[in-house]
């Protein structure tokens, strides 16, 4: 490979972008379909904990994508085939453990989040059902990473479309035809559609990739390859887990604003948690392209690194970064300028709309840092430089984002605006550090395949 194949990168990114968009719809369709601010906030409180673990599981799936593509670049078919099976069962094992813990600790976890008494019952029900079946998402992410590694992006997208359509139909049937409890209805709709999605994915992966993911032949375990998978996956998952934990603590601060009325003018007495719910939905769309482009970059970057094409790898990362930042900033600016209209589609509460509009303007600065971080961290992880971004992210998410969310948001009475300023500072500071880390060239000495 003598030059960056831009056309190939675009064909990889577009289906991933559409698939991620569908994932966001799947994550928010429950909140939208219940058609009630309190019920939507209850689901969001439960999702604060679910997202914490789903992100960690997705990083473990990404670890397999990195290794598969490095072995593709090195033309080592035997090791590539082994990674499929190891990754599938490692994710299944990890997912089952998390499912059991979430089911047993649903209410205590939400109590730690300072969820109000009026929301705790609905949040607990949703978390027990969706969290208790989290292993289904672990399997879906693992199987989809296999398809992406082999550039079956359209196939993965088609399955996501089917999964989302089934989810909406089931939600509608349970909500409007059978008229059962709204929280129970949307939770069951999500779980059943995920189960169907897993069955379809197993069939398609077996058919398309011609790989056998049965446990036969898994033992004795190849600990050398398992160690490589874990050395990428667990630190990266730890970083994602730490970040998500900090977001839970920040959410607890926000719930304190809502419940105890820290803000002297009563704008945020009731609106802060709901504003966070709706703003988070918008924010996910804002950095959607960055997520897609960085994931597409990882596929090609892994192959370049495996083949020893470091200069082309460097060019690929910088091109991806520039495009990602431009698109992300355009999206953030558009949402800020049209925030009144967009949030107005989700709620009619004027206090919530006003508060969301303020934080979406701060989001413009935050997304600049986030775009750089997503691209650079995934680039570093793909090359094997895992511990540095993990360590930096853990330190900054607690000492900057979390600590200053309390200082500005609670102590100095700035509320949700203070929280958003703190998170923006965290993203921007880490972005500067990761740019210098990549420019140092340390990643060139960390070929995982040769390790």
Residue 169 lies in a domain: yes
Is residue 447 predicted with pLDDT exceeding 50?
yes
Q: Residue 214, exposed/middle/buried by CB under 10 A (0-12, 13-18, 19+)?
A: exposed
C-alpha–C-alpha distance, residues 319 and 6, integer Å:
10
pLDDT in tens, 404-428: 999 998 889 888 899 999 999 999 9
Residue 450 lies in a domain: no
| Tally of domains within the chain | 1
Residue 367 lies in a domain: yes
pLDDT in tens, 30-88: 888 887 878 888 898 898 888 778 877 887 788 899 999 999 998 999 899 899 999 99
Q: Residue 308 region, left (φ>0) first, then alpha (ψ -120 to 50), else beta?
A: left
User: Which of 132-141, 176-185, 253-262, 368-377 shows the lowest per-residue confidence on average (mean pLDDT)?
Assistant: 253-262
Residue 263 or residue 40, greater confidence: 40
Sign of the C-alpha dihedral, residues 37, 109, 194, 189? negative
Residue 138 lies in a domain: yes
Give me the domain span that covers residue 178.
6-445
Residue 451 lies in a domain: no
- pTM to 2 decimal places: 0.82
Burial 236-257 (b: 16+ CB within 10 A, else e): bbbbbbbbbbbbbbbbbbbbbb
C-alpha–C-alpha distance, residues 285 and 20, integer Å:
9
Residue 135 lies in a domain: yes
Residue 203 lies in a domain: yes
Residue 211 lies in a domain: yes
Q: How many CB atoms lie within 10 A of CB 286?
A: 25
């Amino acid at each position: 490979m003598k030059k960056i194949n831009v056309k190939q990168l675009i064909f990889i990114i577009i289906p991933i972008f559409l698939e991620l968009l569908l994932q966001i719809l799947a994550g928010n369709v429950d909140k939208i379909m219940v058609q009630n601010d309190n019920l939507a906030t209850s689901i969001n409180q439960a999702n604060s904990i679910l997202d914490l673990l789903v992100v960690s599981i997705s990083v473990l799936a990404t670890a397999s994508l990195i290794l598969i593509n490095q072995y593709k670049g090195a033309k080592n078919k035997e090791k590539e085939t082994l990674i499929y099976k190891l990754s599938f069962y490692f994710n299944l094992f990890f997912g089952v453990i998390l499912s059991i813990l979430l089911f047993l600790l649903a209410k205590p976890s939400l109590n730690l989040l300072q969820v109000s008494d009026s929301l705790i019952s609905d949040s607990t029900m949703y978390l027990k059902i969706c969290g208790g079946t989290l292993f289904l998402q672990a399997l879906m992410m693992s199987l989809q990473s296999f398809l992406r590694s082999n550039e079956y992006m359209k196939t993965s997208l088609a399955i996501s479309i089917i999964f989302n359509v089934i989810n909406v139909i089931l939600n509608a049937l349970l909500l409007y035809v059978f008229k059962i409890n709204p929280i129970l209805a949307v939770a069951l709709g999500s779980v059943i559609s995920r189960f169907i999605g897993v069955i379809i994915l197993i069939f398609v992966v077996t058919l398309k990739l011609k790989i056998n993911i049965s446990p036969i032949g898994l033992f004795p375990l190849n600990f050398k390859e398992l160690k490589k998978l874990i050395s990428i996956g667990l630190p990266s998952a730890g970083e994602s887990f730490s970040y998500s934990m900090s977001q839970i603590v920040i959410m607890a601060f926000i719930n304190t604003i809502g419940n105890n009325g820290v803000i002297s003018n009563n704008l945020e007495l009731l609106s802060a948690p709901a504003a966070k719910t709706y703003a988070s939905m918008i924010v996910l769309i804002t950095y959607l392209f960055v997520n897609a482009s960085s994931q597409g970059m990882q596929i090609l970057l892994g192959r370049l690194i495996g083949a020893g094409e470091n200069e082309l790898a460097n060019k690929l990362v910088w091109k991806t970064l520039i495009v990602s930042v431009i698109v992300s900033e355009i999206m953030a600016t558009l949402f800020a300028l049209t925030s009144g209209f967009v949030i107005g589609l989700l709620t009619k509460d004027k206090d919530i709309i006003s508060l969301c509009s303020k934080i979406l303007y701060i989001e413009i600065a935050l997304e600049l840092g986030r775009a750089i971080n997503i691209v650079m961290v995934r680039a570093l992880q793909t090359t094997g430089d895992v511990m540095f971004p993990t360590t930096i992210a853990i330190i900054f998410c607690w000492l900057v984002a979390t600590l200053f969310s309390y200082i500005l948001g609670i102590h100095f009475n700035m509320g949700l605006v203070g929280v958003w300023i703190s998170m923006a500072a965290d993203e921007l500071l880490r972005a500067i550090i990761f740019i210098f880390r990549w420019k140092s060239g340390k990643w060139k000495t960390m070929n995982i395949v040769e390790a």
